[in-house]
Amino acid sequence: MKFMDLLRAGASGAILIVIMLVGSVVLWVGVPIGWLWVGSQVQGSTNSIGTSLAVAMGGALVSIILIAVGLGWLNHKHMELAEARGVDMKGTSALEKVLVVSAGLSVVLFSIWFLLFAGIGPTLAPQ
């Protein structure tokens, strides 16, 4: 399936692709940041690193599974729309392309943030 075939599924198909893109960026960026924040709050309240790690890891795992199921459902709906319009859906799916693009975008944005804004941690910086 070519990239332009993804858009031939109509306006509804394009909206589904945008929702999948947002969902996959949440998968790559939002879930880790969100659960690290929750873990930090648990650690601050309980003063237990083990508990905070368990909460963060368990929450991230459940969130990833739920988002993956949702993205799969959206991809299935996109395939139904494309087939209804007579677009050949052989090859890679819209979700595969969206995940690759969003992962690449997330890596580039993280690299820019890390190299230009965050820098190395205070324990590694020269004093």
From CA 87, how far away is CA 84, in angstroms rounded? 8
Domain ranges of the chain: 24-107
Predicted confidence at residue 6, as pLDDT, reads 55
Predicted confidence at residue 122, as pLDDT, reads 61
Predicted confidence at residue 7, as pLDDT, reads 58
Confidence of residue 40 (pLDDT cuts 50, 70, 90): very high
pLDDT, averaged across the chain: 86
79 closest CA partner among 66, 91, 65, 63 = 91
CB atoms within 10 A of CB 40: 12
DSSP 117: I
**Digit-coded pLDDT (tens) for 89-123:** 677 888 999 999 999 998 998 888 888 887 666 65
Give 88 or 20, the one with higher predicted confidence.
Answer: 20
Give, for 78, the enclosing helix (H) or strand (E).
Answer: helix 49-84
Predicted confidence at residue 39, as pLDDT, reads 95
Predicted confidence at residue 5, as pLDDT, reads 54
CB atoms within 10 A of CB 102: 20
Q: What angle do CA 99, 64, 54 make, to 5 degrees?
A: 140
Both structure tokens of 31: 């879930």
Please report how the helices 10-25 and 94-112 are oriented relative to each other, as an axis angle in degrees rounded to 10: 40
